[in-house]
Amino acid sequence: MTDMLSVKDGTKIFYRGTQDERRALDKLNVTLSPGDFCVVIGSNGAGKSSFLNAVSGKLPLDSGRIFIDGQDVTRLNTHRRAQFIARVFQDPMIGTAPTMTIGENMLLAELRGKPRGFTYGLTAARRARYSEQLSELNLGLEKRLDMQVGLLSGGQRQSLSLVMAVSTRPKLLLLDEHTAALDPRTAKLVMDTTVRAVEELNLTTLMVTHNMEHAIKYGNRIIMMDAGKVLVEIGAEEKRGITVADLVDRFHTKSDIIALQGA
């Protein structure tokens, strides 16, 4: 079986050749099998966001290669990779188009990575399908297809983002701290919806989080990053028994030591 995602020796250096040179990704190697739900943790500046941005295409690699489902996508830019990847951003304002309606946002997501024509967009058949997809959220969004997304709350928008992301069964789902900006109750709601969708559709998922409890509770693998590399990898077997304390223990990383030496 081919890997769904494979990053080989991914390297990205910011401000190369200056005093501020920083290795965001340092020969990073990660592979995900189909159906993997991998949680990425690490302190600030560990390279989690760079990793996600490199996979999505937002951050072109200096060297190394990225394969999605066996296909080399290293040279494809973000909008070309969108045919494989769906992403939910941390900021609910970015992941949706606020001045457009819920239905139009769903339309944009449905046509992700597909050719768009001059035919009428929101047909009756599509509206019916979107209503059905949205009704699973139990937020009443299915009755408000013509409402502007900007009028929704952060949690509602993030839930909508999630439905938009999974509705096309992407090969790879990227979740970028997608519950970090929400209150605990809403965060749980969005997280539950995430897990249900990922399991139902058997999506290969990469989730960045700062929430250790989420890291333990969700997914079958954990990757702990530091200084642009995978520091610790916890597989399905080991992950079952792990506690928050274990994780925090392992968080004593190279950057910490450097920071202490610097002090």
Partner 1 sequence: MLNVLTSFYGLIPVTIAQSLIVAFVVLGVMLPFRILNFPDLTSEGAFPLGGCVCGALITVGVNPFLACFIALLCGFAAGCTTAFIHLRFKINTLLAGILVMTMLYSINLRILGRTNIPLFTYDTVFTLTAGASANLPWVKILIVGILIALVVAAMLYFFMSEKGTSMRAVGASPDMAEAQGINVGTATIIGVGVASALSATGGSIMVQTQGFADVNMGFGILINGLAALIIGEAITGRQTILRQVAAPVVGSLAYYQLISFCLTLGLAPADLKFATGAFVLLMLALPSLRKSSGGTQIREKIRE
- Tell me the window of 29-37, 39-47, 109-117, 216-224 that interacts with partner 1 (CB under 8 A): 109-117
Q: Is 79 near partner 1 (CB under 8 A)? A: yes
Shortest separation between residue 170's beta carbon and partner 1, angstroms: 11
64: Cα separation from own chain's centroid: 21
Site string for partner 1, 200-219 (x = CB under 8 A): --------------------
**What is d(CA 11, CA 1) in angstroms, rounded to the nearest whole number?**
26
Q: How far is the CB of 155 from partner 1 (least distance, A)?
A: 12
186 near partner 1, judged by CB under 8 A: no
Whether 228 and 28 have beta carbons less than 8 Å apart is answered as yes
Least Cα distance to 26 among 239, 254, 260 occurs for: 254
Find the binder of partner 1 among 15, 99, 124, 263 (CB under 8 A): 99
Determine if 87 is a binding residue for partner 1 (CB under 8 A).
yes
Looking at 113, 127, 201, 246, which residue binds partner 1 (CB under 8 A)?
Answer: 113
**Minimum distance from residue 113 beta carbon to partner 1 (Å):** 4
Residues 6+ apart with CB under 8 A from 204: 4, 5, 32, 33, 34, 35, 36, 37, 171, 172, 173
Considering only 112, 144, 171, 229, the residue that binds partner 1 (CB under 8 A) is: 112
Task: Determine, following the binding rule CB under 8 A, whether residue 240 of this chain makes contact with partner 1.
Answer: no
- Secondary structure letter of residue 74 according to DSSP: T
With CB under 8 A, what is the number of residues at the site for partner 1? Answer: 37
- The residues near 17 (Cβ < 8 Å, ≥ 6 apart) are none
d(C-alpha 160, C-alpha 182), whole Å: 14
Q: Does the footprint of partner 1 cover residue 78 (CB under 8 A)? A: yes
CA–CA dist 15, 23 (Å, integer): 9
| Sign of the CA dihedral with 124 first, then 130, 133, and 138 last | negative
Report whether 41 contacts 222 (CB < 8 A): yes
Choices 120-128, 185-193, 197-205, 217-225; region in contact with partner 1 by CB under 8 A: 120-128
Q: Is 120 in the site for partner 1 (CB under 8 A)?
A: yes
Q: Is 100 in the site for partner 1 (CB under 8 A)?
A: yes
CB 3 within 8 A of CB 206: no
How many other C-beta atoms can be found within 10 angstroms of the C-beta atom of residue 204? 22
Q: What is the contact surface with partner 1 in residues (CB under 8 A)?
A: 56, 58, 78-80, 82-83, 85-87, 89, 93-100, 104, 107-109, 111-114, 116-122, 148, 151, 153
